[in-house]
Chain A
Amino acid sequence: MSAFLRVENLTHIYPGKIKALESINLEIGEGEVVAVLGRNGSGKTTLVKHFNGLLKPTKGNVWIGDMNAKKHSVAKLSAKVGYVFQNSNHQTFLPSVEQELRYGCENIGLDEETIQERVERVTELFQLEDILETNPFDLNSTQRKEVGMASILAIEPKVIVLDEPTTGQDHAGSERIKEVITMLKEQGHIVILVTHDMQLVGELDCRVVVISNGKKLADGAAREVFKDKAMLKEASLEPPQVMTLAEQLTSFGVNDHVLTVEEMIKEYKRVKKLDINKQLQTS
């Protein structure tokens, strides 16, 4: 069976002849987490907006399962591809969190029982029990963003697109987003993450797609992609700091296959032990 989300030779040209994407090919299968990386204006948002039909290809095709994204409305595709916008203020309007969570489900015409079930599920996931009756605008921005994300997840889309989810989030918020992504992956969802947060990418240890000037520069496991320094330079990206640190320390015997702080600590302990052993031997 071919992958659930397929991008075939996608080119997008904005009015004014701005070529934002050029001949992109991409296949993403169930349970995959993919981080889309690239500098500002490289075309990341343009790419992911094709997945729920907010943009239509100038050339090429995008397939969501057996649906050609060209031929379906955003509303229809959004039942399959949930798109979480950067600023949840742009979608929040109902006077209680609960109504916000129900809104998308009501739009796709689910019955009351299913809606309640789903609302309960996302409430638990984001621990929103105490604020269900609150007006979303009385919440802080981290909470409001979570409500926005939860209202999309309640639709239970197969694919979830997160455009810069950790921008402007506090530490706890970022951690929660990381947990949710991991959990969605386990449940077999596809998560597509547009981000500048390299630490998050490292910790997710996920597949990475690098975009530069509308072209796909690299596609592979973060660990491998981040080793291609020439490519990263072309895309103006910096690998996670801890990875750079590990690379600087290879002469001390540190393995440069390190991606997260945790791995670095482990690696440091290993090297330290070796060192002590060596000292013991020589003495």
Chain B
Amino acid sequence: MNSMYVQGNSFLHQLDPRTKILFVFSIILFVFLFYDPMFQFLVTVSLLPIVFLSGLTTPYLKTVKFMFLLVFLIITVHGLYNPMGDVTKVTWQLTENLSFKHDALIYGAVMSFRILSIGTATLLFVMSTHPSDLANALVKWKVPHAVAFMILSTFQLIPIIGREAKVIMEAQQARCLDVKANMIQRVKHLIPLFAPLFITSFMRVHQMSQVLECRGFSSTGPKTSLREMTIGFRDYAFLTAIALFALAAITLRAVVGGTLLPITDFVLMSALIGIWIVCSIYFFDFLWKSVRKKVV
């Protein structure tokens, strides 16, 4: 299974997938309501206790890595070079003609924390939801059964076809296909590698479509499922909390506007340096690990 689902029994794991989907959407709503790095930051940070309480800390830290590269580039490059807003308002003069501009930094910081908070919420959802529960949830939402089925069987198919690809690569190399030949040759080698993969996949598809036919997949009428879910007290409590937050956020937006507090240089510098620090921790961790690999 390729899914990032982490088994567990936490509060989050027990919620109905639909509740969690609503949760992800409400986070997206929050971070787009305001244009205020402080607020985006708070949303991101407030998600962290949920990560911890759901027992997802280690896998979470592993997977947010790539988001930090993205966020690092966004805040640094935009802060330095984005010509938006008032370019004379400088937050941090580095050299004579290199400086972090105030307005551009706001944009960079808002973008960064938006990405981090949406990313965190999505990860929470994915890591705590079994793919077949997701498929069932979609069916309950009147997403056609076929679509839910397709998503589910994709999860099953990817590792199978992945293994098949590996065997095909070995089998063709055993017929003297040279993976180290020149570029043009290697491009030509795409055909002997992809063709058997396509063909064996088609064979599998034919079998599967026959199996589906035999099991009455295309029959009409209600479908039933092995894994049953119900929305319980937990879900209602959680949904109520989300709704209250959303209500408060929308009211705030209507009354105060997109920016809640004046954005000081200090806030922006903290965001920038903070992201740099986290990135360098990841970077040094990566360095340390590769050095150790070389040594051992």
Contact = CB atoms under 8 A, between A and B. Distances in A.
B170, B171, B196, B200 interface centre (most CB from chain A within 10 Å): B171
A74 B174 contact: yes
B175 A73 contact: no
A137 B199 CA distance: 9
A91 B172 contact: yes
Contacts of A54: 170, 173-174
A103 B175 CA distance: 8
Nearest to B194: A93
B173 A90 contact: no
Nearest to A86: B167
B291 interface: no
Interface stretch (A58-66, A77-85, A173-181, A266-274): A77-85
Given A54-B173, A78-B174, A90 B179 contact: no
B191 interface: yes
B192 interface: yes
Contacts, number: 71
Contact of A89 (B173, B180, B203): B203
Interface in B162-199: 164, 167-168, 170-181, 191-192, 195-196, 199
Nearest to B198: A93
Given A90-B164, A91-B196, A92-B196, A151 B175 contact: yes
Instruction: Bin the interface of chain B by size.
Output: 20 to 34
Contacts of B174: 52, 54, 74, 78, 82-85, 91, 152
A85 B176 contact: no
A73 B192 contact: no
A52 B178 CA distance: 13
A107 B175 contact: yes
Contacts of A104: 175-176
Contacts of A74: 170, 173-174, 179
A75 interface: yes
Contacts of B195: 93
A41 B164 CA distance: 19
A155 interface: yes
A176 to B, nearest CB: 21
Given A78-B173, A137-B199, A91 B168 contact: yes
B178 A93 contact: no
Contacts of A249: none
B175 A89 contact: no
The 10 closest A-B pairs by CB, nearest first: A93-B195, A75-B178, A107-B176, A74-B173, A104-B175, A91-B171, A83-B174, A90-B171, A85-B171, A90-B168
Interface of A: 49, 52, 54, 73-76, 78-79, 82-85, 87, 89-93, 103-104, 107-108, 137, 151-152, 155
Interface of B: 164, 167-168, 170-181, 191-192, 195-196, 199-200, 203
10 contacts: A74-B173, A75-B177, A89-B196, A89-B199, A89-B200, A90-B171, A92-B196, A92-B199, A104-B175, A137-B199
